[in-house]
Amino acid sequence: MTAVDLSLRSVVTAWINTRLHRVRCAVHHGDLFEPVAGKCFDLILANPPYVPAATNMLPRHRITRCWDGGLDGRTVLDRICAGGPALLAPGGLMLLVHSAVCDDDATLCRLVEAGMHAEVLARATVPFGPVMRLRAAMLEARGFVQPGQRDEELVVIGARRAS
């Protein structure tokens, strides 16, 4: 198992947890695929920042880095769709979790464009969490949610490398 995170605090926490629970895991600090360039994986799991934000500038050193996904919530998602397939072994699987607010159809299209067979594997409607609640007015004003909507649909998208 390999874990990668941009947040040094998250890397340290993951490293400590893997040791406490005796899980063999290489934990890397870095930006998405850079620390594992040239490696192949049978499975890639990602729950990237996907909440639409006021700007496309992704925060580097604040807690909002955990959820800010740029103006449309897709800044990190699109990078994963473009770069993840190259790290998959033949027959490998990528699983992405994000809100339908940032357009699951766009994720499917980008994965197909990258040579993957992609589909939504699961959907679940959940109440807005704290960040989405705080941004509800902005999300409404920009057309991401309907007026008064206070729930979101989470999706799990699976993508396999095309043979």
pLDDT of 7:
84
pLDDT of 61:
62
pLDDT in tens, 74-131: 999 999 999 999 999 999 999 999 999 999 999 999 999 999 999 999 999 999 999 9
The whole-angstrom distance between residue 61's C-alpha and the CA centroid of its chain comes to 18
What secondary structure letter does DSSP report for 2? E
Domain annotation for the chain: domains and CATH numbers: 1-38 (no CATH), 40-161 (3.40.50.150)
DSSP per residue, 64-122: GGGTB--TTS-HHHHHHHHHGGGGEEEEEEEEEEEEGGG-HHHHHHHHHHTTEEEEEEE
pLDDT of 78:
96
pLDDT in tens, 34-74: 999 999 999 999 999 999 988 777 766 677 777 888 899 99
The answer to whether the beta carbons of residues 76 and 106 sit under 8 Å apart is: no
* Residue tagged 């490998």 (tokens): 92
CB atoms within 10 A of CB 34: 12
